[in-house]
Amino acid sequence: MLLWHKRKWRCRVPECERKVFTESLPEDVPARARITTRARRAAAVSIGDHCRPVSGVAAEMGMDWKIAHEAFVAYAEQVLPDAPPPVRVLGIDETRRGKGRYEIETSTGVKRRIRFACTRALRRAPTRTLKAC
């Protein structure tokens, strides 16, 4: 944790438009910021490169969830390409819902899995056949 007591300065030149000003470190602590650039960057790297949840990183670093998320979004915009590569093949996820169904072929005694996509499609569209699947 960085604790910084900023000094307030007063300009003695009467023509100066800015009468009062404070110390600043624009590279390390941007104007009106409460968190250093380095801390924001560390939070963004933890979230983006190490796949950690935003809430966990924010709690660990003592910052608000919104600040950690904004730091991650800014970091992602720098790291990620402007557009993703074009899709060449679009597939279906290989997960299924429910238990698998099997049937035993009477001639060979081999157990084979019944494909769900075909059985569901056949129930909905009676004109389709199992061979079409």
pLDDT tens, 46-61? 999 999 999 999 999 9
- Which of these, 94, 93, 130, lies nearest to 114 by C-alpha position? 130
Q: What is the pLDDT of residue 4?
A: 74
Are 9 and 21 within 8 A, CB to CB?
yes
- Tell me how far apart the alpha carbons of residues 50 and 60 are, in angstroms, rounded to a whole number: 14
Output Rg (C-alpha) for the chain, integer angstroms. 30
Pair 72, 82: CB distance under 8 Å: no
What is the pLDDT of the chain when averaged over all its residues?
A: 80
Amino acid in position 130: L
**pTM surpassing 0.85?**
no
Average pLDDT for residues 115-130, to the nearest whole number? Answer: 50
pLDDT band at 131 (very low <50, low <70, confident <90, very high): low
Res. 133 pLDDT band, cuts 50 70 90: very low
Q: What is the pLDDT of residues 3-25, one digit of tens each?
A: 778 788 888 888 888 888 887 77
pLDDT of 75 > 80? The answer is: yes
Give the C-alpha separation, 128 to 133, whole Å.
9
Distance CA 38, CA 3 (A): 14
d(CA 47, CA 36): 17
